[in-house]
Structure 1
């Protein structure tokens, strides 16, 4: 038991204009979704 997460990975670049504040811009996003699993701590056991 636990929680499964599905997400896409995005690559960002920092744009620094000569005038004004810097900002992060997404330039690429993964085509395939990746996943992560966070097991429930109450369900873990050794032995």
Structure 2
């Protein structure tokens, strides 16, 4: 299995990544929202008075 970030062989300790660095890069992508699925914005419920 190849690392999804850099393509090097995966290390069992950081699977599916090859190193802590690539695992951290992937985490940063998730935290920034790079892996989001585009769609329509969710409308907020209208407040009842």
**Which protein has the bigger helix share?**
2
TM over 0.5: no
TM-score (normalised: structure 1) = 0.25
TM-score (normalised: structure 2) = 0.25
**Which protein has the bigger strand share?**
1
Which fold has the larger relative contact order, with Cα–Cα distance below 8 Å and residues 6 or more apart in sequence? 1
Larger Rg: 1
